[in-house]
Amino acid sequence: MRRGLDALLNLFYPGDCFLCGTAVTRTREQSVCRLCWEKVLSLDIRPPWCACCGLPFQMELPAEEHLCGRCTVEMPPYAAARSFGYYTAEISRMIQGFKFERRRNLAALLAPLLAAAFGSTWSRTDFDLVVPLPLHPRRRRERGFNQSALLASRLSMYLIIPCSEGALTRVRHTPPQVGLADAERSLNIRGAFTCGRRELVADRRILLVDDVMTTGATAASATEALRKAGAVSVAVLTVARTVPGM
């Protein structure tokens, strides 16, 4: 029945690929053509990467675990961070469309990328709770939704790990991080999060979910709030990350 309806809709209102605009077969949620989707998949980050922050190394390294220069100097508060792909080209277009053009249906395509990145390092028994990175209530109102919460709730369904949107709160409305140097970013974001409901995170191993990781300053600040509330460990998973030179 549904397929018949889709076929009929395609005849009169073919869907357009969000990325290239060519007509795509209308399905319930998909809105990227096969060719563009293959480009998205080809932007995946592959090992070798920093065992802690997940930053990919440009050179081949022996199989044992390595840390990047930054993690060697100062270990971040989170146990590890992983991302599906580079924040560039098709992936950045999709994430920007998802956030700023309110294309909420793109969550259906972005969440499986999170699941793929998750599977490269972890298994579901490694975590007790999925927590999305919160937006400040003011920004949440402006946007109408928290993109990280949409991603986290889908991921939590795939992984069968509970998700708590209310565990973490953003208490400070920080200026955008864009254009700030690394040190300024971490000052800008320090103390921006609080965990008002300790009982949700105490003694739990937390997977923190966001759309993009840049310097990791935001993830570090959120991790500190969760750790202060008694979380045993925090790991970070994002769809994409910026990598210098990419």
Please state, in angstroms and as integers, the Cα–Cα distance from residue 19 to each residue in 95, 166, 202, following that order. 11, 33, 42
Binding mask 9-38 for Zn ion (x = CB under 5 A): --------x-xx------------x--x--
Q: Which one of residues 45, 50, 168, 192 is an interface residue with Zn ion (CB under 5 A)?
A: 50
Q: Is the distance from CB of 76 to CB of 216 less than 8 angstroms?
A: yes
Burial class from Cβ neighbours inside 10 Å (0-12, 13-18, 19+) for residue 215 reads: buried
Select the span of 62-70, 113-121, 164-172, 225-233 touching Zn ion (CB under 5 A).
Answer: 62-70
Q: Strand runs (DSSP E) across the chain, as ranges?
A: 15-16, 23-24, 80-86, 129-132, 169-170, 193-194, 205-213, 233-241
* Closer by beta carbon to Zn ion, 195 or else 212: 212
The DSSP bridge partners found for residue 169 are 194
Residues 50, 88, 84, 220, CA torsion sign: positive
Tell me if 71 contacts Zn ion by CB under 5 A.
Answer: yes
**CA 208 distance to own-chain centroid:** 8
- Give whichever of 40 and 201 is closer to Zn ion, judged by the CB atom: 40
Which of these segments, 67-75, 148-156, 191-199, 201-209, binds Zn ion (CB under 5 A)? 67-75
Q: Degrees (nearest 5) of the Cα angle 233, 78, 136?
A: 100
**Among 237, 240, 244, which residue's Cα sits nearest to residue 89?**
240
> Binding Zn ion by CB under 5 A: which of 53, 110, 225, 234?
53
Our finding on whether 171 is near Zn ion (CB under 5 A) is no
Residue 80 interacts with Zn ion (CB under 5 A): yes or no: no
Instruction: Based on the shown chain and the rule CB under 5 A, indicate whether residue 40 belongs to the binding site for Zn ion.
Output: no
Q: Does 79 bind Zn ion (CB under 5 A)?
A: no
**Near Zn ion by CB under 5 A, which window of 60-68, 89-97, 143-151, 201-209?**
60-68
Least distance in angstroms from the C-beta of 175 to Zn ion: 26
Q: Can you tell me the distance from the alpha carbon of 236 to that of 71, in angstroms, rounded to the nearest whole number?
A: 15
Q: Which is nearer to Zn ion, 24 or 152 (CB)?
A: 24
Residues 83-112 that bind Zn ion (CB under 5 A): none
Q: Is the dihedral of CA 123, 124, 125, 130 positive or negative?
A: positive
Residue closer to Zn ion, measured from CB, 53 or 135? 53
Out of 41, 68, 79, 232, name the contact with Zn ion by CB under 5 A: 68
Q: How many residues bind Zn ion (CB under 5 A)?
A: 11
> Which amino acid appears at position 192 of this protein?
A
Binding site for Zn ion (CB under 5 A): 17, 19-20, 33, 36, 50, 52-53, 55, 68, 71
